[in-house]
């Protein structure tokens, strides 16, 4: 028995690392694409029989082969075509009752026809898959991806059949201690192909990536770079903004890269006036248009300056929970609803917690004039000493910044939320901060840090603060400790001359449940808590923004209280059915006061 266990452990720890996904192609909406969304056949596989044999070794004849009996006596113990289906994009938890609490493996299959054009390349693009996936085209492994909230793709040039093709995805949302996020979170672990799937067709040499923003420290100079991919990387590339009368030409080097900087007279983007320009980028055989806004951003002492003017972030936190229907949000219409509620609340700022949201949210924020805090799911008790955990977090950060770096709305990249203090954590996060500054020097960096409580004094002194541009902090006085009436006596002290954003505060309430201001879960209790929080926060001199927790109720397995929570976190100002609680109007009145001051 001991020898068998040793062999099994050896097998599990020495499985080959599969090829990872290719570098991202950004702005897929302006490419030639074929949608692979819609109905996919599935096989639910809790024992992973479709991948491992009884010895728990990879099975060369697994479900990814999509085998069919050749004769009536052949034994094939699975069949995609006669089984259930799921809609993509979408999570499996809210589409099938038997999968509501399911964590494990589901296999997806999609048949499609495609005729590649000559002198083109093809990529399969996934907006997000939670959490770990392996992709197969016509039975051939394309690669694997880990991380549930960032896009990835595989090149399939030369691998597509002239007519019938099948794409199979092994999706596993099992929580793992070494993963990012780790096993314990306060949101629902929605499994599945949760965002769109596209077949992207590009020229042989194409514009893979670009970064165009105002040069830091200036308001009249555009700077950035463009990256080509293909067999003819040295080309002339033209950058044009017709509305501003700008047309500049650069030549890429032998690696397809060209940096640039040139003067520009542009109207700046702001929440009040979210100006977006059509930016044209042309290479020899490729052309893209992106809508980009331009603004300046910096901190000075404890102030945040947007376009040179001091700014207070009137915010709200948002989870990627779909309004009304529940489940993982993914559509442009859902983005418009969630951000529309934030605008109605009086916000100029949203914190997209606790992971990268879908691209529609960022583009809609650009259009609607909402500043964005974007973050990766380095959350609570990540394994700080595990190199693979760091590589995972680093990769998710790189993918998030790559996808969204041209969005004017994004003003803060966040590297963590509520992580316990310690040297290993500090080293881990400091490396992520350095990475972010190298990849994007135009934006501010933050994290939700830990406060120290000393009697009635809240001290901003987390050692991580010395590395951040903006210090975030979560504070739940009146809900997880103390009473709402005690909140105004709290005093704040900071060891850093930096802007502070209270990234979370709040308390739960069930819409329609009423009582006095001391009755837990009543709308009146939540309203009373907000009233006293606002009175206290008005007196914090270095406070430059708040993003209370949270816009809308969201599902969480940590919240089982019957008749009140029923696996929903009820801290939303709006119910999951779109009903506004009394605290919504309390915060709305406060934001209107701030706008008029």
Tokens representing residue 591 in the block: 């934001």
pLDDT at 8: 33
30 and 144, same domain (yes or no): yes
Same domain, 276 and 368: no
CB contact at 8 A, 340 and 265:
no
Q: Which residue numbers in the chain have pLDDT < 70?
A: 1-21
Tokens of 528: 């009373």
Q: Which of 253, 269, 284 is the last residue of a domain?
A: 284
Pairing type for strands 543-546 and 313-318 reads parallel
Looking only at the bridges linking them, the beta strands covering 349-352 and 313-318 are: parallel
pLDDT tens-place string over residues 224-271: 999 999 999 999 999 999 999 999 999 999 999 999 999 999 999 999
> Where do we find the tokens 């020899």?
284
Determine, yes or no, domain membership for 96. Answer: yes
Residue 280 falls inside a structural domain: yes
Domain count of the fold of the chain: 3
Q: What span, in angstroms and rounded, lies between the C-alpha atoms of 328 and 424?
A: 33
Say whether both 189 and 320 belong to one domain. no
Residues 151 and 227 in one domain: no
One domain, residues 54 and 37: yes
Helix, strand, coil tally for the chain in percent (to 5): 20, 35, 45
The answer to whether position 300 is within a domain reads no
Q: Which of 284, 319, 342 is the last residue of a domain?
A: 284
Distance separating the N- and C-terminal Cα atoms of the chain: 74
What's 316's domain CATH number? 3.20.20.80
pLDDT at residue 6, rounded to an integer: 34
Distance CA 25, CA 210 (A): 10
* Residue 334 DSSP SS3: helix
- Specify whether 345 is located in the same domain as 440: yes
Q: Rounded distance, CA 328 to CA 95, Å? A: 11
The answer to whether residue 294 is domain-embedded is: no
Q: Which of 534, 543, 413 is nearest to 477 (CA)?
A: 534
Question: Residue 192: phi, psi to the nearest 5?
Answer: 125, -175
Do 437 and 397 reside in the same domain of the chain? yes
Query: What stretches of 202-347 show up as alpha helix (H) in DSSP?
Result: 332-345
- Whether residues 113 and 128 share a domain: the answer is yes
Tokens representing 9 are 């452990």
In a domain, residue 292? The reply is no
Res 58: pLDDT:
81
Task: Please state, in angstroms and rounded to a whole number, the distance separating the CA atoms of residues 417 and 557.
Answer: 19
DSSP states of 413-476? EEEEESPPP-HHHHHHHHHHHHHHHHH-TTSEEEEEE--EEETTEEEE--GGGGG-SSEEEE--
Domain extent, residue 240, equals: 206-284
Q: Are 13 and 178 in contact (CB under 8 A)?
A: no
Here the tokens at position 478 are 């009146």
Q: Which residues are registered as beta bridge partners of 401? A: none
Residues facing residue 236 across a β-bridge: 251
Phi, psi (5° rounding) for residue 225? -160, 165
Of 203, 235, 264, the residue at which a domain comes to its end is 203
Predicted pLDDT at 21: 67
Residue 376 lies inside a defined structural domain of this protein: yes
Question: Which residue(s) pair with 225 in the sheet?
Answer: 211, 259
CATH code at 239? Answer: 2.60.40
- Phi, psi (deg, nearest 5) at residue 177: -60, -35
What is the per-residue pLDDT for 10? Answer: 29
Answer yes or no: do 342 and 437 share one domain: yes
Note whether 120 and 156 are within 8 A (CB).
no
According to DSSP, the residues that pair with 33 across neighbouring strands are 200
In a domain, 11, yes or no: yes
**Does 313 share its domain with 425?**
yes
Q: Is the CA virtual torsion 35, 37, 38, 39 positive or negative?
A: positive
Same domain, yes or no, for 128 and 18?
yes
Contacts of 14 (CB under 8 A, 6+ apart): none
Which secondary-structure segment (H or E) carries 534? helix 523-537
Tokens of 334: 């859902």
Q: Which two tokens stand for residue 209?
A: 């990536």
Distance between CA atoms of 580 and 577, rounded to whole angstroms? 9
Decide if 259 is inside a domain. Answer: yes
Q: Is the separation of the CB atoms in 154 and 24 below 8 Å?
A: no
Contact present, 41 and 81 (Cβ < 8 Å): yes
Same domain, yes or no: 413 and 552: yes
């Amino acid at each position: 028995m001991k020898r068998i266990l040793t062999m099994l452990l050896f097998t599990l720890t020495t499985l080959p690392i599969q090829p990872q996904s290719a570098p991202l192609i950004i702005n897929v909406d302006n490419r030639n694409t074929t949608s692979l969304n819609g109905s996919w056949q599935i096989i639910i596989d809790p024992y992973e029989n479709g991948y491992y044999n009884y010895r728990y070794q990879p099975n060369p004849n697994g479900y990814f082969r999509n085998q069919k009996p050749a004769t009536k006596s052949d034994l094939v113990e699975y069949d995609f075509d006669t089984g259930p289906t799921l809609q993509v994009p979408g999570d499996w938890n809210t589409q099938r009752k038997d999968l509501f609490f399911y964590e494990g493996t589901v296999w997806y299959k999609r048949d499609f026809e495609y005729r590649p054009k000559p002198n083109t390349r093809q990529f399969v693009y996934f907006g997000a898959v939670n959490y770990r996936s392996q992709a197969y085209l016509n039975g051939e492994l394309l690669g694997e991806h880990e991380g549930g909230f960032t896009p990835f793709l595989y090149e399939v040039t030369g691998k597509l059949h002239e007519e019938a093709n099948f794409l199979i995805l092994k999706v596993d949302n099992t929580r793992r201690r070494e993963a990012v996020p780790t096993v314990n979170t306060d949101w629902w672990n929605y499994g599945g192909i949760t965002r769109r799937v596209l077949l992207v067709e590009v020229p042989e040499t194409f514009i893979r990536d670009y970064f165009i923003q105002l040069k830091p420290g200036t308001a009249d100079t555009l700077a950035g770079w463009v990256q080509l991919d293909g067999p003819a990387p040295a080309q002339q590339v033209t950058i044009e903004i017709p509305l501003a009368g700008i047309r500049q030409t650069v030549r890429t080097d032998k690696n397809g890269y060209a940096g640039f900087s040139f003067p520009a007279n542009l109207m700046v983007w702001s929440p009040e006036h979210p100006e977006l320009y059509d930016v044209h980028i042309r290479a020899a055989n490729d052309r893209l248009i992106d809508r980009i806004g331009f603004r300046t951003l910096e901190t000075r002492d404890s102030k945040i300056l947007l376009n040179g003017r001091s700014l207070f972030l009137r915010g709200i936190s948002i989870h990627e929970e779909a309004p009304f229907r529940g489940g993982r949000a993914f559509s442009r219409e859902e983005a418009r609803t969630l951000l529309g509620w934030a605008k109605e609340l009086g916000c100029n700022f949203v914190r997209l917690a606790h992971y990268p949201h879908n691209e529609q949210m960022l583009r809609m924020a650009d259009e609607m004039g909402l500043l964005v805090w974007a973050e990766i799911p380095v959350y609570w008790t990540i394994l700080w000493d595990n190199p693979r955990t760091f590589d995972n977090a680093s990769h998710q950060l790189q993918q998030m910044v790559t996808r969204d770096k041209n969005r004017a709305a994004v003003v803060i990249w966040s590297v963590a939320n509520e992580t316990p203090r310690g040297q290993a954590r500090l080293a881990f996060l400091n490396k992520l901060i350095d990475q972010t500054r190298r990849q994007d020097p135009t934006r501010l960096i933050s994290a939700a840090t830990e406060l120290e409580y000393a009697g009635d004094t809240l001290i901003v002194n987390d050692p991580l603060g010395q590395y951040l541009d903006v210090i975030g902090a979560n504070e739940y006085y009146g809900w997880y400790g103390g009473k709402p009436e005690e909140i105004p006596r709290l005093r704040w002290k900071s060891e850093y001359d930096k802007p502070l954003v209270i990234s979370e505060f709040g308390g739960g309430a069930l819409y329609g449940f009423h009582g006095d201001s001391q009755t837990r879960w009543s709308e009146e209790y939540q309203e009373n808590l907000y009233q006293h929080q606002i009175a206290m926060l008005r007196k914090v001199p270095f406070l430059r923004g708040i993003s209370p927790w949270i816009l809308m109720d969201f599902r969480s397995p940590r919240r089982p209280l019957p008749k009140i929570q029923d696996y929903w976190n009820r801290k939303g100002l709006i119910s999951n059915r779109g009903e506004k609680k009394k605290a919504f109007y309390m915060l709305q009145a406060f934001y209107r006061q701030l706008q008029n001051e």
